[in-house]
Amino acid sequence: MTIEQRLLGRTGAEVSVLGYGAMELRGSPVGPAIDDEEAGRLLNEVLDSGINLIDTSIDYGRSEELIGRFLSGRRDDYFLASKCGCIAGDVPPPPPAAPGERRRNPHDFRPQNVRAGVEQSLRRLKTDHLDLVQVHVSPSRAQLEEDQTIETMTALRDEGKVRFLGMSGTLPNLPDHIAMDVFDVFQIPYSVVQREHEDLITDAVNAGAGTLIRGGAARGAPAEDKDWSRGPIGLREGEGERRWTDSEIDDLLDGMSRIEFVLRFTITHPGLSSTIVGTSSLDHLRSNVAIAEKGPLPDDLYAEAKKRFPLAEA
């Protein structure tokens, strides 16, 4: 069996329906502990398994350096996506968060920082171009215009340092981002317990863009090795668990693991190009690949799941 590939919108690129998210390579104390050689084995197995899309960011600590060190010799084997707006240089510690909120790194979308960040990523990744650079953390259209972010990204594309422009977008700003008609790809949070952006995925595709889905497995279902109490990103604490419990979906899984159900539900969305799943574990990677190779859910289970997890406001 092999992992299905889908068209990434108007980019024309064919990407594996399962992508690899490199956030888990940022290392401790903010992420899992992983030494360099382990990271190298993991990254090479990512490509050997049939995954051909890797998503990273300046905000992900050492991930860019590790990708550059271990995969630069295989650069033609994968579609490489990173972010802009992250502060160039060493990643600063995020400021304290308010109760119930996640800590978030500061961002700067003005030309000097966007350019410095992309050029830093190129050096760390040991490549002469990024296939995709995505604006991080979904700033408003007004801020993008004030900071001349799009003009800077377009200049970097014209210089050959970037091939395609993307937005890591969420409500409330995502509809405006789609309407701007400048982004080739949108990265959007989505899972069976977080369907708020479901129709916007379709809207993005109808506008000609490719879609990368995040959160399609990592916080999609309760599991012993997750901090499920925090719930999917973008939902208030405990909301994801409540939705899962209320659905009584476990009664329909018939031996299918929760993670298989959640990941295959995400893949079943007809507008999805790829879902980005991160891990620092070879065992988890192999399990995710095996699930992705099974493809979409059966039609009847997918239809019933959508009934049991109705669209709701976050």
C-alpha–C-alpha distance, residues 118 and 279, integer Å: 24
Nearest Cα to Cα of residue 216 among 264, 280, 249: 264
Record the tokens describing residue 191, joined without a space: 């899972």
Instruction: Please give the helix or strand (H or E) that residue 285 lies within, else none.
Output: helix 282-294
C-alpha–C-alpha distance, residues 188 and 169, integer Å: 6
Task: Judge contact between 15 and 273, C-beta under 8 A.
Answer: yes
Task: Judge contact between 135 and 86, C-beta under 8 A.
Answer: no
Nearest Cα to Cα of residue 156 among 212, 84, 88: 84
Task: Judge contact between 241 and 192, C-beta under 8 A.
Answer: no
C-alpha–C-alpha distance, residues 267 and 236, integer Å: 24
Task: Judge contact between 220 and 263, C-beta under 8 A.
Answer: yes
Catalytic residue among 60, 78, 190, 302: 60
C-alpha–C-alpha distance, residues 314 and 309, integer Å: 13
Specify whether 78 is catalytic: no
Cα 36 to its chain centre, rounded Å, is 23
Q: What share of the chain is helix, strand, coil (3-state, %, to 5)?
A: 45, 15, 40
Cα 185 to its chain centre, rounded Å, is 11
Nearest Cα to Cα of residue 174 among 192, 160, 159, 187: 187
What does the chain come to in residues?
Answer: 314
CB-neighbour burial class of residue 186 (10 A; exposed 0-12, middle 13-18, buried 19+): buried
Which residues are tagged catalytic? 60
